[in-house]
Structure 1
Amino acid sequence: MKSLFLSVRSTLFRKTILLYSFAVFIPILVFFLFCYSTIYHSFEKEIYTSNINKLNTVKNVYDVKISELNRLTTKVDSSPSLTLFQIKNNSADVVSTLSFLTRLLDPLNDIFLYERGSNKLFSSSGTFFFPKILPNYIESSDLTKDDFDYLLNHSESVHVRQVISQNNHSYIFYFSPLSPNFSNPSRTVVFVIDNENLKKLFNFSVTENVNENVLVFDNDLQLLSSFVPDSKGTILSHITPLLKHHKGDFSDTIQTDGRQLYIIGLHSNETGYYYVKITDMQYAMKSLIEIKDWVIVVTALMFVIGAIIIMLGLRFNYYPIRKIVSQLNAYSNTRNDELGTIERAIGDLNQLQVEYHNFTEHSENALYENFLLYVLNSSFNNLQSLNSAGKSIGVIFTRSEFCIASIFIEDVDKLNDIEYSVVVNAIAVNIPKSIERQFKNLLFNQQIVCIFCLERENYSDLIHAFENIRQQLLDLGVQATVGVSDINEKPSLIGRLYLQSREALEYKMLYSIGSIIEYSQISNITDAETPLPEMLESFEKHISELKIEKAQKSFYEMMNYIKTNKCTLYTCRYICFDIIQYFKRLSVLLDTTYSHTLDYGFDILEIEHFQTIDDLIELIEQVFQKISDFLNSHKKHQSDQFFEEILQFINENCFSYEFQINSLADKFSMSVQYLRSIFKTHTGQTLSEYVNHLKIEKAKELLITTNDNLAVIVQKIGKVDVTNFTRAFKKETGFTPGAYRIAHQELNKKDE
């Protein structure tokens, strides 16, 4: 409660509550108003459309039936069986014809044919005397006997009347005089239509519960049909005035007997009849009311969910901020100013970020310079491994050839007024875009080393670019001499290219300071014709064949030749570089895992650092000693005696739970891959197969000599997977461990 009280006093809390309230409740209110309005109007329209469709069904049926009655009247009038002569002389034929015609129209209940002035009435069911037939239909109807008599004997046009029989059954009587053009009619035909039969033709039903009713009026507003008979009072007091008022299609509401009724009316242009549908408003709007209630319930539920969302929003957004602020009291002037507190803290964090960026920038530069040193040391055997290492610092080479240029700054003090980046930029902007370049800072040696990756045909463009570079550096007040190596496609020979560029610089006194000296220009005046290449090739051959004594002999022959023939210092450097590079390749070839742990004790700059042949020969001898030690170790690994030691150790320790092939390789100072290789060479089977065989033999012994179950036996033979071991056991013996024990026990019983 105290925490909530403190929060309420907070400006951020109040703003957060207000924001969440608008974000959550406004959409809910819009949703409620939209749904209520849309659903209300949609259902109101749907209710109107539904009632109109029902009323149109009634209208269409009545119009069709009236039209059919008109056509049937014509048939009666023109029928030769229903003439006056036939009426007077052949009543049986008249009745038969009327019976046939009655069946032509579905809702017809009967047809009366009357000769005016007589007292006989012919129908489809027989001939009746006029006074006897009428009480069955009109005794309880508004249609009196006098009216009925008048319509039969004197009407000169069609009349339709509703008749209610004694049993409260509703009929429609359709009176039509018969004679040419209705002039001086001598006969009258009456079609009796049962309202119940007529209602069966509609596609809907109206229950007699006064919730719905359909009324039909003629053009004189006389009621012809009422689907619910007891609504007559409503008709007389309310419906007839509406029909007189609207004179066509309409919808309206009326209030009667404490109920609100929904009225829809249609007028038929064909018959002139009026069709009215009456529906109790509560009944008509039942679905709409239910939907409205559901909308209210859903909206209330959404308000509850919205409140929960606000609480969760505060829980996961505001209160963590409040908690952070409580831990930043050193920055806070007031407990209720969270945003100000965080703003001040973020300002301090931004300052720390700037400092960290400066630190990482220097670290990235260090990584970049270190990577380029690895490149110059020829530490990568192929372009793929070089790019894999350089990818993390954004150094990627895609061309096929490499070239090294060493730019020697004659007066390094001139650079004190010029930043290193300015000099590098002056170099970079003049290099064609088709040539990839990286720059190694060796200003402590007064040089900048350029590593280029290019296509062979671009080499001349590179030399031409250095003419512009030299001039631009002179414009900056920096005089530089450039040594350019040959080109080579192997990353493993980049170190040799660097030595070539440095050797070219040694001839600056010959070519003059500030020149661009290509290694190809001075290679013809170096030790071109010497037996050293053949001697180096012989040395490498003896090394690859692991003939250490012969390799030593070849090595010292090379050293003696260098001393006695006074070879150049750079010739010794190339020999040293070649021996070291070959040693790298050989050590990787013999034992990949352990080659990276060898310490050669030098880098390419150290080779360049030596200024006397004796010092360099001493370095070469140290490297050769490392080669000899490594090869002696390798030969020891290849010896049978050494392998017997490994085999004995496996036989004695493979059942230990701690025994693993990795630990075995570490014990004998070799990689797992190399251990597997020499084991396969000596035994013809893999190390895993041999160890599994020993475990299976031990398990067979324990199955025979003990009653231990398989789980216990597995623990006694070392670390194995039970499922895989069972599969291997069955593959070697043809039995599962349990079946093997049973088979051996049965064999012992037979022997006994």
Structure 2
Amino acid sequence: MLKRIPLFYKYLLSYSILLIIPLIVTSLFSYKHYTSILKEEIMLGHEQMLEQMRDTFDTKMREMNTISYEISSNPELTPYYLEQNMYHAYAAKRLLNFTVANNFFQNVFLYIKEGDYIYSAESTYSIPLFTDNIYQYKNWSPSQFRNDLNRLETPILRPSEEVDSSLLKSNRAITYIVPLPPSGVEPYGAAVFIIDEDTVKGLQRGGIEERVGNTLILNEKGEVITSLYDTDYLQDQSFLQSIKALPPGSKSIKIKNEQYILSTAKSNYTGWTYLTMMPQEHLLKKVSQVQYRAMIVLIANLFLGSIVIYFLMRINYSPLQQIFSYTTLQLGKSVQNSSDVLNMLSNMNKKSKAIENKWKDNQYAIRKYLLIELLHGQITDMKEFYDRGEEVGLNFREKRIFVLRCEIKDEDIDNKAIISERINNEIYTRYEGYEVKWANQNVITYICTLGKEDQQLKEFILFLHKILKEHSQGSITIGVGCIYEDMNKIGKSYMEASTALDYKLIKGQNQVIFFDEINSENQLDYWYPKQEIETLQLLVNERDTAKIIEMIKNIHRDVEKNKPPLHMVRCICYDIINCIIKNSYNNENSYLADLTYPDIEKLSKFETLQDFEQLANEICMRLQGVVQDRNIESDLRERAITFIRENYRDNQFSVQKMADSLSVAQTYLKRYFKQQTGQTITDYLSFYRIEHAKQLLKNSNISLKELVKEIGYHDVSSFIRKFKNEMKITPGEYRKIHTDRKKVN
């Protein structure tokens, strides 16, 4: 049956199944998963909003309690002081002006027990005047008002109630009364905070998007302190008690046959319960929208996918023919069967192996390059060397290191490979070593490391020399440098090994020459500037370039005067260069780290004191060049800062324009400015503009539009956003604070 179906329809059916099954499974999983996540995110968002509202109210309550403490601790607001004369009562106005810094409550009043007056920042009122004209409570009579204040022992918060007052926006207020002192046993008075319900509703209103839900605040007794909207269910005490008992989080409840999502949060500070009630249908409207859109997308994908599959099948009806065409294009000859395709794959495999072999050859070249750089003393960052070396199989695991050089006479050149292999076999069985292929065909160089002091090292090298002579028809001379624990001194060991080879003119050929033996033979007879090298190290640490140059010249004069042997002069040169390089990297003397120094190969080849003189002069000239560059860079820093301070008012300011003015590259200027100041150019410009704006806000009355032009911003909104991000308040608030301070002063 299937055999009779055309190939086109077989492919069409198979591709359709491949599309439909994964798409449906993936869509259903994603649909359930992401709608669940969206639902949780919406619920979590309401809970977080509620917690934020709770934290805001807790903060405001703490602030009012703090103000009560401030009032009770102020000696000018005590009963004794206020009741002396009316001038003191008048003077208390400025001490009660707390609404400037706190706009949560509409006003704060001070009442002294059994007194006839109530004090505020605006005026001093008699009790009848206050209750009959200023704040006329509908459910709080003047006598009860006085009686409650006189008997007050603990803080009391009266829920939202009707208050007839021209000072209120909504004619409803919440009253918070705190005894004075708040923690005293026998209060002498009370602080009365009048909170406009409209202010509280402004905080509650952020909890719902439209007028479809409600936000409540219940006190510890389950009574409604305030609600965003008055509804019938708020009169049901059993309902209020039931929702007060709910744990924090979100629950689904039914009210009047409609399902609501109720989110609650409780305050540990006040004991109040904060609630938002949203119709479930409205709250999860976005989830329903996502569900609907997901279904539309699934159907659209199936429809479009079917169309795409159909046309692709029309295009790819002959897939094997397309493979043959591709193979023909790659090989440049006609391909008619599968064997030709296999031949193409075989050729690709051969090319892949050729590329792999080239990589291996490059590994060898890179390793050789790194070893030569190390011997020449051109490696200044050993961490970078280890990282690069690890990629090509170059890794020094041991700390102690020395260089061995083996010179083969011309008649043994044909046996060099055999001799090299013999050396490798002997050294690698005892030490970690790397052979360095050199341009000089007569000399084989090895870098060797050992973990601990080897008392039999010399005996081993002598034994190695004996074995090599057995495979040699001519003479083989080995030079061995000293052992060092500092990888930076490997170049010195190489120079010592080269010097030891040169000593064959004195010691004779066909033997092993150890540099430390040469040195010990001559160290009592020749001068060495040990104290001068130590002084040079101190000068490098002190970054005194002029004295560094002078010290190098002094060492040069001492060399001419004392005329030490050539190998000692080479060591002196190495110690000078190593001293500068090592201390420039270890002590943050970066102004010396960029110098290029003569390599070790050059040190090992100079043969006269005139060569040393030329080398010393070369180092001094390079140091003087560094000093001049440093002076130029210091001048650039001052010019860059001056340019910003002179051009910050330009709203077309750009780093490129600044770089052109200073005649430097933009990338260099950005990097240099950050190194010198610790800030980017943009950050420094923004800081300078904000500082100037602060001065204008404090000392002038110009409008924000004029101010923005003055400091180089494009528009007012971007300036306000930047200012608030930096100062945490708006420019208007900043100006108001400083204006009020001037008035108080």
**TM-score using structure 1 length:** 0.49
Name which one, 1 or 2, has greater alpha-carbon Rg.
1
**TM-score using structure 2 length:** 0.49
